[in-house]
Chain A
């Protein structure tokens, strides 16, 4: 298993090199010159040249690429053209917000998605099946931003139950330890702040998790329908095993592999930042920030974020593959057992 993980980690390298070349090429070759955007359209030619020299944009492309790669290894991803802060700081200050939102949305989506999938599969063709699948259909079809706005109007506006923007009441903001407010507030023992942070999460988590939940529900249903027809389910029933145990211990356990794949991919995608949800809920995450930086041609930030997302995605895939081996003993990654 360890060998397999190491091998897979080595395979990650060419993927990341590919990503770095693509993002570099798009930014340096196909994007417009950032200088007029940063300095303003009335900037003098000298100012532009000086700025380009200062930011290394007049160097030959291979040198620029080399500096970019060198920066990745030394942890120096450059500085933002606008804030003049190191890109790494910019990312780390925003990324926890995205992690918190993405992980909770995925947990929400997994729990309810699997629940809906199992119930609809077990009660196939019943009213529950139809209801569940109708709900899932709505989930995949509804635009996230619209759902977000509706949730804000209803639960925040009309009913006034939940806050609608930002991560926490500014007065309760905890000092940064992990940057994950739920954890930071708990570490500080500040339950009031914890509750406030949790309440701030409810609506964005629902909005962001809805699509993933629908996907997971549909995948769970089809996977469960397949396993429920297997011979070993009949064996389990013939043994006198009670129904719920047959469903969970025997059927769901076997149905999990495709479900885990979907969950992993969804989490990977959500960790890349959800522009729409973050925008609607003015959530200070990485997604909306990156889009802003793209629009402002803030090259170092865009490069850094894209590389980070690529790494996360690749690692999520590896994690999913490792989980497979735990779920299904027939999958062995070492050569010995073939």
Chain B
């Protein structure tokens, strides 16, 4: 097991009250696998990844065990050594994720020089190799470009090159294709998939795009309102989704062979984090909602390689903190 997250809870304090963005989340990532974390905006998936990196301003509790060591116990300096080296991250917004005033060269070399024992010449060479690897044409020329001279897809490739330049063991990809158009999305996913195999690294793929998940992930975690509601191997999740929310998500994908006037959608909205419904957080929007769902929060119960948080399958209630 490469990464094991136990009872991760991240809270943000504001004047209006405390918001729990991630609530008692536990999961693991095996070496070399692609774990997808799925959920709509505000489900806590991005905060989960930033918490692992130690980059959230929120209050983080729980354990984050990476290769047997708890990252939560690490000092700032120790975390700096891990970030970008052992664990890397790429982000949703390639247009704004690169520093506009520095050349691609400097930004790539910065990562390499921070973590690897290399002189500038070697670092430059490696940077060019990395650009070549992510499919940027004439990398020795483009490396002198500034970010604004590149397209969104190119910039995401540069971000990937930067993230992978120190051969991390875990790549956290936070919605890497969301801001790109569809053809570029496919190229970027294909690239990530290929590099994953080449470097044998694990990928935590955070997305709301189930199409992307189906194509690339090994296992899937579905999050809703800061909690994991279902976890399953990818094929089983798509064939027999258990949680009503997962089913809703799958049903809302338009299918090309279906003749429908209206697309399916899950009724209602994600609840305001400051005013969560009593009981199951999904109860307000659930078509299978029962009386108990409005009273109590179901626990996440594991059965074999599948876990689900729903009273349709068991009667276990979550013990609140």
Which residues of A are in contact with B by a Cβ distance under 8 Å? 230-232, 234-243, 249-250, 253-254, 327-330
Interface check B110, CB cutoff 8 A? yes
Structural contact, A236 and B100, CB atoms closer than 8 A: no
Interface check B111, CB cutoff 8 A? yes
For A327, the chain B residues whose CB sits under 8 A away are 101
Cβ contacts A to B, 30 pairs, < 8 Å: A231-B96, A232-B98, A232-B99, A234-B97, A235-B97, A235-B98, A235-B99, A235-B159, A236-B110, A237-B83, A238-B55, A238-B84, A238-B88, A239-B84, A239-B88, A239-B111, A239-B114, A239-B162, A240-B79, A240-B80, A240-B85, A240-B114, A241-B84, A242-B114, A249-B102, A254-B101, A328-B100, A329-B101, A330-B146, A330-B148
Contact with A along B86-106 (1 / 0, CB 8 A): 001101010011111111000
For A236, the chain B residues whose CB sits under 8 A away are 99, 110
For B84, the chain A residues whose CB sits under 8 A away are 238-241
Interface check B261, CB cutoff 8 A? no
Structural contact, A231 and B91, CB atoms closer than 8 A: yes
Smallest Cβ-Cβ distance to A254: which chain B residue:
B101
Contact of B110 among A230, A231, A241 (CB under 8 A): A241
Structural contact, B100 and A232, CB atoms closer than 8 A: yes
Contact of A239 among B83, B96, B148 (CB under 8 A): B83
Nearest Cβ in chain B — how far from A333, in angstroms? 15
Interface check B192, CB cutoff 8 A? no
Structural contact, A231 and B115, CB atoms closer than 8 A: no
Most chain A CB neighbours (cut-off 10 Å) among B88, B98, B110: B110
| Chain B interface residue count, Cβ-Cβ cutoff 8 angstroms | 32
Structural contact, B80 and A241, CB atoms closer than 8 A: yes
Nearest Cβ in chain A — how far from B258, in angstroms? 38
Contact with A along B175-208 (1 / 0, CB 8 A): 0000000000000000000000000000000000
Which residues of B are in contact with A by a Cβ distance under 8 Å? 53, 55, 76-77, 79-85, 88-89, 91, 93, 96-103, 110-111, 114-115, 146, 148, 159, 162-163
Contact of B80 among A242, A253, A329 (CB under 8 A): A242
Smallest Cβ-Cβ distance to B95: which chain A residue:
A231
Nearest Cβ in chain B — how far from A238, in angstroms? 4
Structural contact, B53 and A238, CB atoms closer than 8 A: yes
Q: Bound state CA distance, A241 and B96, in angstroms?
A: 18
For B55, the chain A residues whose CB sits under 8 A away are 234, 237-238
For B114, the chain A residues whose CB sits under 8 A away are 239-242
Q: Bound state CA distance, A294 and B234, in angstroms?
A: 85
Nearest Cβ in chain A — how far from B181, in angstroms? 19
The 7 residue pairs across chains A and B that have the minimum distance between CB atoms: A240-B84, A240-B83, A239-B84, A231-B96, A232-B99, A238-B89, A329-B146
Q: Bound state CA distance, A328 and B88, in angstroms?
A: 27
Q: Bound state CA distance, A303 and B85, in angstroms?
A: 65
Given A231-B93, A234-B91, A329-B146: A240 in contact with B100 (beta carbons within 8 A)? no
